[in-house]
Structure 1
Amino acid sequence: MNEADALDLFQAAIWTVLISAGPAVAAAMIVGLVIALIQALTQIQEATLTFVPKIVAVLITVGISAPFVGSQISIFTDMVFSRIQSGF
């Protein structure tokens, strides 16, 4: 395995992590922005108010996007194992 192969695997791993975590992070950001806007409009400054809606949104998003995330991880795993099998 040379440097190009290692960089290619590293790039694929980073891309897989970004694609896998993206939906949950995006849902948490959107819910956080909406709650922050509601807090600013109503002047309710409760720090713990954002936790439950974010947790619920992330759990729903993970449940919905689980097949997509699983397929991305499976594609990455197949690529790594095929490279190991072929000797890079």
Structure 2
Amino acid sequence: MPRKVLHKVNESAVIDIARLGVLTMIKVAGPVLLTGLVVGLTVSLFQTLTHLQEMTLTFVPKILAVFVSLLIFLPFMIQTLIDFFEMITDRIIALG
């Protein structure tokens, strides 16, 4: 027997919410990941040019750059998440 659905939510609304969730995730994680990528490429280029193959040289600058980028981008990241959650709660309220 099919279950009764109190509120019909169509598939396009679910796909739209999932798409917005993925875009929000990319906006939040993107700046920090790009910072780590740029610093990692720079350190790798420096190691290649100087023939200095120290393993810790790759990790320490990346960790420091990621922490600094977190401090810089944290207000943007928090505001992006707040906007996303407000949009989700507005849609939940509209259903009820």
Deviations 1:18-67 (A, max 9, x none): 00001100110110011001000110122332111101000100110011
Match of 1:34 in 2: 42
Q: What number of residue pairs does the alignment pair up?
A: 88
Q: Say whether 1:65 aligns with 2:38.
A: no
Identity of aligned residues (%): 38
Q: Say whether 1:56 aligns with 2:69.
A: no
Q: Under a length normalisation based on structure 2, what TM-score does the superposition of the two structures give?
A: 0.88
Q: Which has the higher helix share?
A: 1
Q: Which has the higher contact order (CA 8 A, sep 6+)?
A: 1
User: What runs of 5+ residues in structure 2 fail to find an aligned partner?
Assistant: 1-8
Q: CA-atom RMSD, angstroms?
A: 1.1
Bigger Rg, structure 1 or 2: 2
Match of 1:43 in 2: 51
Q: After TM superposition, where is structure 1 displaced by more than 3 Å over at least 4 residues in a row? A: none
Q: Higher mean Cα deviation, 3-12 or 41-50?
A: 41-50
